[in-house]
Structure 1
Amino acid sequence: MTGISHLISKRAKSRQSSHFTNGPSEQPPKGFKPHEKPLLLSYGTPNDGFFPIDSIDVNLVEYPFEHQQKFNNSMENLSISEKNPNSVHIERHTKNPNLIDLSKGLQYVKVEGHDPLIEFTENFIKRTHPPNYDNWSSILTTGASDGLNKACDAILDPGDVILVEEFTFTPFLRFSDNSGAIPVPIKIDLSNDSNGIDLNYLENLLKNWDTTKLPKPKALYTIATGQNPTGFTQTLEFRKKIYKLATDYDFIIIEDDPYGYLTLPKYQGPPKKNQFELKDQLTLEDYLTKHLTPSYLEIDDVGRVIRVETFSKLFAPGLRLGFIIADKSINLVIKNYAETVNRGSSGLAQTVVNNVIQDKLGGVDGWLQWVLKMRATYSYRKDLLLQTIYESKAYEKGLVDVIDPKAGMFVTLKIEFLKDDSDIILKMKELLWKVISYGVSVVPGHNMTVDKEFSKSRSNFFRLCYAPANNDYEIIESGKRLTDAILEFYENGEKF
């Protein structure tokens, strides 16, 4: 048993893993010897000869939005017969142990995932966020949401309390609710250079917790880097303080990190290049040692951190593929739960991701080089949106302020003239109608609260995402429409 086994949920502990094709559980008879070449008449697995797909070619780009540049340069009508030098060929069979062929990728697979991709995720974590203890493992998931749901199931029983940042990725509340837990919001410090969580508030909350009303917290859920929706990133020193609280008050930390690798430099003025000329000047070592904020894993010495990762923001969301890094005892109960709910992630998705990374990009460091290209593009887009806001009349008049994110894909636009309003949420809803009428969509802060009443006085902001835009024009135009709408709303006496 590990030092955190008492924090695993009763529900998760009660599950047992078994399969009807398993051999007898009793001891074999005396003299029994397994056959050297056993043949299968047990598993309901169709031979790969029945698979209609013989091979797959995956054509890649060298950098984000390269397809647009090809189109702009009238290079889109390439001959179909022309061999793409930047492609990955996935065969029915391969002898390369680092690759997944179609005979395996299209077949049933063990719940934990295919061995080559599990090995990659573990090597990737060793390179980027090496855990501070030995007894950890990786298990693949059907995206981050699946990982978060499984993390909740692993540790939360009905009536357990989980602490959640007051503004958060609200689908998480469905996962905690599914386990029967009670979410309790933690105040966020919304000053521009904040770490996110209001540490003094959290310390006082834990110190003065009334166990006659609610049991002491079992877990903390945090998006510690590029927080959704605020964009805040916790420093290493701040994480050490939070981790000490987790140790002192004995709770698990669920670290959700879909955006953390997309680190962003501070706004330095208007972008000087277009997105097709971007080159991240960082070396890999500079990125890893000076720009990538350490994970809670790196200060965890007993296994009380469950880190949830995803390929959605760095590869593609539709593949529904992610992974969890956690203490082996936690990943064991997660595996047992997966056998109950979804049997693990798509084999084809695993095959595409693994083989693109291993066969073409060059493994862990090659994958990180792709991340650096994405980082440069996101940094450019963030600065382009900020420039548009900073140049607006609404900003010049002090009607809005911006939180410059240190990572991720979200900018927080604070509506300054509503910060002391007693009817903030009503005003924000009416302002949202004005913004929509100008032809731009944003997310109001109150839509991402754990408890609207608790966060009412701090809900005077919009979450802006610069990821979905097709090009520079859409980013600039959306920023102009948004700030023009806010200006008109203000000049109309804070009415539509």
Structure 2
Amino acid sequence: MSPISTEALSPSIDHLISKRSKSRTFRHFGLADLEGAPADFKPHPKPLSLSFGKPNEQYFPIDKITVDVDNYPFQKTLFPNDILEGNSITIQRNGESLQEIGIDEALQYGEVNGLPAFRDFLLKFTEKVNKPNYHDWDLIPTNGSGDGLNKAADAILDPNDVILLEEFTFIPFTNAIRNVGAIPVPTKLNFDKGGDFNVEYLQDLLENWHQLNPNLKKPKALYLIPTCQNPTGLTHSYQTREKIYELAQIHDFIIIEDDPYGYLTLPPVSKPDLANIKDFDISVDEYLANHLNHSYLKLDTHGRVLRLETLSKVFAPGLRLGFIVGHSNVIKSIRGYSNIVTRAPSGTSQLIFTNIVTKKFGGVDGYLQWILKMRLAYIHRRNVLIHSIITSKAYESNYLSIINCDSGMFAGIKLNFPQGTDNVEKLKLLNFKFLQYGVNVVLGFKMAVDLDFSHSNANFLRICFAAAENDLELQEAGSRLSNAVFEFFQNDLQF
């Protein structure tokens, strides 16, 4: 199945694809070469293969797999009244429909495009949720977002190319940037009034690039985490997204949109109330129309947005499944790289995900309903942790404040140090207090692209409400964090 759209073809963006990627070739010994065939040559309609080294499926020792599926996340603790009997699926050696994957397919060598049923789901999901605004788009599965980021860097960046990043970001991506010889340059975030990306700074930077950075090429790409920005928790407003895309058009750069948390949109923090948690439940139509933040893809008319998706945050990270959506020529480049470095994602992972979504959830809408169930669990757990912090002495004393926690699994916590404080040194010292109290956090400065550039904004922590075992752990963690901060400030910022 190919993407179907009535939108116009996008202008060429081939000049933004890396030279490395364009020059890459792929050879294989088993592909039939029909060039120079005799005029009266006709290939046999049903050839018998003695070429590929594919073991017959009967060699595979697994005949069927039975999977018990929870109806909700945290089924036994948060939603014990919603346990369904007979909530299992059986996966047969041969798929029972075109929408399912059989064990014979999953355990066989696979194509980089993904198994047909998995790819079909990804296309339908993208069509429904984040369809680009032009015709010639495509997608390719990945082995999770980390793999996708590496492939995005390879497809776009050549040595000495410049890529802009939010000043605090998912730092492992800078490893992929440097691996291809490109140069990461930070841009500013705005932490005031709820926070957002600082578009004014970006515009000034781009308009005066050659004066400000005479020895650097003009940026070729901008890497963004637009919803629940990691590590700050900030989310781009729709107006910000429009302005950034407009700047991408004017200054001719690619937007790499990394959105692992975007589907987990959360209402304002409230007192935890597990008995009434379903009051926050919404329909798929309501979610798509009024709650889900727009992807940059939906603004894209020129194929200059490369969106990275992952199933890690709303299904399971160990499956190592994700996908990239973008201009077909960029996806073609990524496909060529995939053929060399990773080949296809795990067939077993595609098998588990696709068959659960198809046979138990009911396809795209059912998967979206699962995401909404995940959302309910995240709402409750976020409320438990944040409520324990905002009812503390540290919060009441204005020693700390919440930057943002309206989506995803992270919250940014700002430490309200006095003006002129060395943020980095005090955070390092405060961290010993956290460790003494028995709570682990991420110090904001450790996720700075350039610490000199961001030193004045580095007075924050990243905390996560996804991993704790239960509500008691979340409450205790919030209490330990708050008490450590309170004691630190009471001691005049000394240990």
- Answer yes or no: same fold by TM over 0.5: yes
> Deviations for 1:164-220, whole angstroms, at most 9, x for unmatched residues?
00100111111111111100000111124122x211111110011026310000000
What corresponds to 2:266 in structure 1? 264
The answer to whether the 8 Å contact 1:305/1:326 transfers is yes
Q: Superposition pairs for residues 197-236 of structure 1, below 5 Å?
A: 197-210=197-210, 212-236=214-238
SS of alignment partner, residue 389 of structure 2: helix
How far, CA to CA, are the matches of 2:34 and 2:304 in structure 1?
A: 33
Matched, 1:23 2:32: yes
The answer to whether the 8 Å contact 2:74/2:377 transfers is no
Opposite residue 4 of structure 1, the aligned amino acid is I
What corresponds to 1:78 in structure 2? none
> Deviations for 1:96-131, whole angstroms, at most 9, x for unmatched residues?
001110100000011111111111111111111121
Matched, 1:424 2:423: yes
What corresponds to 1:79 in structure 2? none
How far, CA to CA, are the matches of 1:350 and 1:145 in structure 2?
A: 17
How far, CA to CA, are the matches of 1:9 and 1:402 in structure 2?
A: 40
Q: What is the deviation of 1:274?
A: 5.1
> Deviations for 1:64-99, whole angstroms, at most 9, x for unmatched residues?
1114469x99x9xxxxxxx96111211111240011
How far, CA to CA, are the matches of 2:219 and 2:151 in structure 1?
A: 18
SS of alignment partner, residue 441 of structure 1: coil
Q: Superposition pairs for residues 392-407 of structure 1, below 5 Å?
A: 392-407=392-407
Matched, 1:174 2:183: no
What corresponds to 1:51 in structure 2? 60
What corresponds to 1:40 in structure 2? 49
Q: Which moved more, 1:121-130 or 1:165-174?
A: 121-130
The answer to whether the 8 Å contact 2:260/2:310 transfers is yes
Q: Superposition pairs for residues 66-77 of structure 1, below 5 Å?
A: 66-68=75-77
How far, CA to CA, are the matches of 2:228 and 2:78 in structure 1?
A: 29
How far, CA to CA, are the matches of 2:102 and 2:205 in structure 1?
A: 52
What corresponds to 2:133 in structure 1? 132
How far, CA to CA, are the matches of 1:455 and 1:25 in structure 2?
A: 59
Matched, 1:460 2:450: no
Q: What is the deviation of 1:232?
A: 1.1
Distance 1:323 1:377, change over 3 A: same
SS of alignment partner, residue 303 of structure 1: coil
Q: Which moved more, 1:13-22 or 1:163-172?
A: 13-22
SS of alignment partner, residue 358 of structure 1: helix
Opposite residue 67 of structure 2, the aligned amino acid is V
Distance 1:477 1:14, change over 3 A: same
Opposite residue 179 of structure 2, the aligned amino acid is N
> Deviations for 1:453-493, whole angstroms, at most 9, x for unmatched residues?
11111000110100001111111110000010011111122
TM-score (norm 1): 0.94
Matched, 1:441 2:440: yes
Opposite residue 218 of structure 1, the aligned amino acid is K
Q: Superposition pairs for residues 375-386 of structure 1, below 5 Å?
A: 375-386=375-386
What corresponds to 2:89 in structure 1? 88
How far, CA to CA, are the matches of 1:51 and 1:59 in structure 2?
A: 22
What corresponds to 2:284 in structure 1? 284
What corresponds to 2:335 in structure 1? 335
How far, CA to CA, are the matches of 1:180 and 1:57 in structure 2?
A: 47
What corresponds to 2:143 in structure 1? 142
The answer to whether the 8 Å contact 2:445/2:458 transfers is yes
How far, CA to CA, are the matches of 1:385 and 1:407 in structure 2?
A: 14
What corresponds to 1:486 in structure 2? 485
Q: What is the deviation of 1:387?
A: 1.0
How far, CA to CA, are the matches of 2:141 and 2:63 in structure 1?
A: 25
The answer to whether the 8 Å contact 1:280/1:372 transfers is no
Opposite residue 346 of structure 2, the aligned amino acid is S
Q: What is the deviation of 1:25?
A: 5.2
> Deviations for 1:248-304, whole angstroms, at most 9, x for unmatched residues?
00000000010000001112x3122259x6464311111000000110000100100
Q: What is the deviation of 1:365?
A: 0.2
Opposite residue 359 of structure 2, the aligned amino acid is D
Matched, 1:241 2:243: yes
How far, CA to CA, are the matches of 2:315 and 2:464 in structure 1?
A: 18
Q: What is the deviation of 1:406?
A: 2.3
How far, CA to CA, are the matches of 2:171 and 2:101 in structure 1?
A: 35
What corresponds to 1:473 in structure 2? 472
The answer to whether the 8 Å contact 2:265/2:407 transfers is yes
Between the two proteins, the alignment pairs up a number of residues equal to 483
The answer to whether the 8 Å contact 1:393/1:483 transfers is yes
How far, CA to CA, are the matches of 2:357 and 2:130 in structure 1?
A: 19
Q: Which moved more, 1:83-92 or 1:96-105?
A: 83-92
What corresponds to 2:7 in structure 1? none
Opposite residue 47 of structure 2, the aligned amino acid is P
Q: What is the deviation of 1:63?
A: 0.5
Q: What is the deviation of 1:17?
A: 2.8
SS of alignment partner, residue 403 of structure 1: strand
How far, CA to CA, are the matches of 2:14 and 2:116 in structure 1?
A: 26
What corresponds to 2:154 in structure 1? 153
SS of alignment partner, residue 22 of structure 1: coil
Identity of aligned residues (%): 47
> Deviations for 1:431-452, whole angstroms, at most 9, x for unmatched residues?
0110011001000000111011
How far, CA to CA, are the matches of 1:279 and 1:102 in structure 2?
A: 40
Q: Which moved more, 1:409-418 or 1:465-474?
A: 409-418
Opposite residue 304 of structure 2, the aligned amino acid is R
Q: What is the deviation of 1:8?
A: 0.2
How far, CA to CA, are the matches of 2:192 and 2:38 in structure 1?
A: 71
How far, CA to CA, are the matches of 1:449 and 1:42 in structure 2?
A: 52
What corresponds to 1:114 in structure 2? 115
How far, CA to CA, are the matches of 1:344 and 1:132 in structure 2?
A: 28
RMSD: 1.7
How far, CA to CA, are the matches of 1:335 and 1:87 in structure 2?
A: 35
Q: What is the deviation of 1:23?
A: 1.3
The answer to whether the 8 Å contact 2:54/2:108 transfers is yes
Distance 1:122 1:261, change over 3 A: same
What corresponds to 2:310 in structure 1? 310
Q: Superposition pairs for residues 295-306 of structure 1, below 5 Å?
A: 295-306=295-306
Opposite residue 207 of structure 1, the aligned amino acid is E
Structure 2 unaligned residues grouped into runs of 5+ = 1-9
The answer to whether the 8 Å contact 1:192/1:402 transfers is no
Opposite residue 368 of structure 2, the aligned amino acid is L
The answer to whether the 8 Å contact 1:2/1:329 transfers is no
SS of alignment partner, residue 89 of structure 1: strand
